[in-house]
Amino acid sequence: MFSEAQISPSTLAGQSRYRVNLARVLLNDPLMSSRHSAAFTALLAAALFGATTPLAKALLGSLSPFLLAGLFYLGSGTGLAAVILARRVRHRAAAPQTGHSRFPLRDVPWLAGAIAAGGVAGPALLMLGLNTTPAATGSLLLNLEGVFTALIAWVVFRENVDVQVFAGMVAIVAGGVALSWQPGAAGLPPGTLLLIGACACWAIDNNLTRKVSTHDAMFIACVKGLVAGSVNVALALTLGARWPNLSSVALAMLTGFAGYGVSLVLFVVALRNLGTARTGAYFSVAPLFGVTLSWVLWPELPPLLFWVAAALMTLGVWLHIRERHEHPHTHEPLVHTHRHRHDAHHQHEHDFAWDGEEPHTHAHHHAPITHTHAHYPDIHHRHTH
């Protein structure tokens, strides 16, 4: 730590802001609450991802499914890599204060598992399953991703769940079923188990990504995109896909940057603040955004089931947003790195000359504390009940 003689005016200003933030916490300033902003982040991630579906439909005429998936991921990875590079160049002078750190080796297996499950195995099983599965049946089966994500989070990782959260999840999944339901569609085709396996892979991906969500979300999404994109493009070319023209490649990669890259960054941030099951539930409304955009691109009168689905999903989101989980709980000692403000859980000093800028990123220590307030199963509230 610094002695008084070493403290600069900028550091004094930072400590003054530290006291202001502490006062806001003590006064329960609503500006310090991230409750609704976290839900909005998850819904925005779902909107961006859902919008890729009608755009993918438009691109599939000139690209094979595997190649399209690969270009989406590559667009995600390369686009985010460019943003990361620009960010580092811009903040190079402030690097000692921003506290950027390397991705720790102990968390590499979690990230590698997430990439293998969600970026490699999941898309492969999806494409193989769709070869022998009608689109309507496939859409219904893909709703299982949210269910599997929640079940793994609740059973394996012991995330808290109450009746209201469970009811909200059921309503969102029911909305997804209504959205893709087509009366008279065929029963379970040969590709059913492959599609179920794809959903299970993505659910595993979501839960493993939760384990590394304290780290730079942009870096996580970038690595996922580069690895998954390279694997899928290589697989497509091995299977005989022909490389498309430059304009198709550029459009696919730009779509992937927004729908896979930016969306995944927001998803990881939501995981950090909401936990896996709740983020997965919000993300399950993505098909609603996709269908809405498709009707904007190709005007068509929405059927009754669309409005039923919209009502059910809205009900599910409302049930999640109005959740209030509050009880006395104890925070164990913890050291980690993530972007934060000095709220009730981040009242710490700095071992560098902090200029008072918030939010900022650096390795920080959480002392044991017992208190009571409403909370989600975020990175600071992964306790047992």
C-alpha to C-alpha distance for 209 and 9, rounded to whole angstroms: 40
Q: Phi/psi of residue 343, each to 5°? A: -90, -165
C-alpha to C-alpha distance for 173 and 139, rounded to whole angstroms: 12
C-alpha to C-alpha distance for 175 and 50, rounded to whole angstroms: 15
Three-state SS string over 143-205 comes to CHHHHHHHHHHHHCCCCCCCHHHHHHHHHHHHHHHHHHCCCCCCCCCCCHHHHHHHHHHHHHH
C-alpha to C-alpha distance for 85 and 71, rounded to whole angstroms: 21
Name residues whose C-beta falls within 8 Å of residue 357's C-beta, 6 or more positions apart in sequence: 14, 97
| pLDDT over threshold 50, residue 8 | no
pLDDT above 70 covers what percent of the chain?
76
Using alpha carbons only, what angle is made at residue 289 by residues 284 and 294, rounded to the nearest 5 degrees? 135
C-alpha to C-alpha distance for 214 and 230, rounded to whole angstroms: 26
C-alpha to C-alpha distance for 19 and 292, rounded to whole angstroms: 47
| pLDDT over threshold 60, residue 29 | no
| pLDDT over threshold 70, residue 95 | no
**Averaged pLDDT, 255-260:** 91
User: What is the biggest distance separating any 2 CA atoms in the chain, rounded to whole angstroms?
Assistant: 79
Distance of CA 209 to the CA centre of its chain: 8
Q: Are 294 and 53 in contact (CB under 8 A)?
A: yes
C-alpha to C-alpha distance for 173 and 293, rounded to whole angstroms: 20
Q: For residue 263, what pLDDT is reported? A: 93
pLDDT above 90 covers what percent of the chain?
18
C-alpha to C-alpha distance for 305 and 179, rounded to whole angstroms: 6
C-alpha to C-alpha distance for 31 and 285, rounded to whole angstroms: 27
What pLDDT digit, counting tens, does each position of 309-363 carry?
Answer: 888 888 888 887 777 766 676 767 777 676 777 777 777 777 777 777 777 777 7
Q: Which residue has the tokens 């306790």?
A: 383
C-alpha to C-alpha distance for 103 and 107, rounded to whole angstroms: 8
| pLDDT over threshold 60, residue 32 | no
Name residues whose C-beta falls within 8 Å of residue 326's C-beta, 6 or more positions apart in sequence: 372, 373, 374, 375
Read off the pTM.
0.75
| pLDDT over threshold 50, residue 22 | no
pLDDT: which is higher, 24 or 261: 261
What pLDDT digit, counting tens, does each position of 184-234 carry?
Answer: 655 556 678 888 898 899 999 999 998 888 888 899 999 999 999 999 999
Q: For residue 368, what pLDDT is reported? A: 78
Q: Residue 68 pairs with which residues in a beta bridge?
A: none
Q: Give the three-class secondary structure for 382.
A: coil
Q: Are 212 and 114 in contact (CB under 8 A)?
A: yes
Helices (H), 212-303: 217-238, 246-256, 263-274, 276-283, 286-297
